[in-house]
């Protein structure tokens, strides 16, 4: 990859950023398609994010941003415009900078998760799902599952206010959807998704106890480092099909490239 005065860039904002996996495949796509651009991680404290966004508006060779934990909701409050999807969720994970410096945010974690699940042969229509975590990625995934036609959602979130906000948002968008905040006794759950950061740190508890997974078709995670979280490893050892966090990351790369103005091809 050659960086010249003609090069442009995407910054990936987060704290920490050591766990991120998307720069490598995106940079590989840039190189394979002879695009003079680069994406690189920026470890930024939350209190500095508004200042950084103000600076990005004036950087003419900045294509946009990728956003990871914990900044997804914060960035949504400081961009100039949001897609309808991002507005409903209240969070963004990608930002496009226009030629006049305006910043447009979108949230595609959810559709990336459902795309990865579909790639794994999971039928979502009518399914009963449980999602751990209702933060930026979690709420995006909950909304995407609603869009995909799941029949029931269990929202597992330790913060009561966040859980209530997620339930309220989903009830407005999907009035027919059954919403639960406790595990349904005597009813099968078809898929379980960890949309929290549990598993990133050594010694983290499992997002869902293994005994709860009986009858679950697939266990999915958003965590990308470690590549296979201990919870997923344990679930696999019990015979469950698993979906790695990296699969969601790879599923959204073509979506991100398109949002930034590129035309991804089969090399993604």
**Residues 168-173: contacts with CB under 8 Å, at least 24 apart:** 169/88, 169/89, 169/90, 169/139, 169/143, 170/142, 170/143, 170/146, 173/88, 173/143, 173/146
For the chain, the three-class secondary structure string (H helix, E strand, C coil) is: CCCCCCCEEEEEEECCCCCCCCHHHHHHHHHHCCCCEEEEEEECCHHHHHHHHHHHCCCCCEEEEEECCCCHHHHHCCCCEECHHHHHHCCCCEEEECCCCCEEEECCHHHHHHHHHHHCCCCCCCCEEEEECCCHHHHHHHHHHHHCCCCEEEEECCCHHHHHHHHHHHHHHCCCCEEECCCCCCCCCCEEEECCCCCCCCCCCCCCCHHHHCCCCEEEECCCCCCCCHHHHHHHHCCCEEECHHHHHHHHHHHHHHHCCCCCCCCC
Q: Which of 6, 72, 225, 241 is labelled catalytic? A: 72
CA dist., res. 12 & res. 94, Å (int): 9
Active-site residue, 241 included: no
Residues annotated as part of the active site: 72
């Amino acid at each position: 990859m050659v960086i010249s005065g003609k090069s442009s860039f995407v910054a990936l904002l987060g704290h920490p950023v050591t766990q991120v996996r998307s720069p490598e495949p995106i940079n590989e796509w840039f190189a394979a398609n002879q695009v003079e651009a680069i994406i690189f991680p920026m470890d930024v404290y939350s209190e500095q994010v508004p200042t950084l966004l103000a600076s990005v508006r004036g950087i003419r060779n900045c294509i946009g941003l990728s956003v990871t934990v914990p900044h997804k909701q914060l960035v949504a409050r400081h961009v100039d415009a949001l897609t309808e999807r991002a507005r409903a969720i209240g969070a963004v994970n990608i930002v496009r900078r226009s030629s006049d410096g305006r910043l447009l945010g979108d949230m595609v974690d959810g559709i990336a998760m459902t795309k990865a699940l579909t790639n794994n042969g999971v039928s979502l229509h009518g399914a009963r799902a449980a999602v751990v975590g209702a933060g930026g990625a979690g709420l995006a995934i909950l909304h995407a599952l609603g869009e995909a036609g799941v029949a029931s959602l269990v929202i597992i979130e330790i913060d009561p206010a966040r859980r209530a906000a997620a339930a309220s948002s989903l009830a407005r968008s999907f009035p027919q959807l059954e919403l639960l905040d406790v595990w349904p006794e005597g009813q099968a759950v078809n898929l379980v998704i960890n949309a929290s950061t549990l598993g990133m740190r050594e010694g983290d508890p499992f997002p869902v106890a293994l005994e709860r997974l009986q009858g679950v078709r697939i266990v999915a995670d958003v965590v990308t480092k470690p590549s296979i979280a201990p919870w997923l490893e344990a679930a696999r050892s019990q015979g469950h099909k698993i979906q790695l966090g990296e699969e969601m990351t790879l599923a959204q790369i073509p979506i991100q490239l398109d949002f930034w103005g590129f035309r991804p091809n089969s090399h993604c």
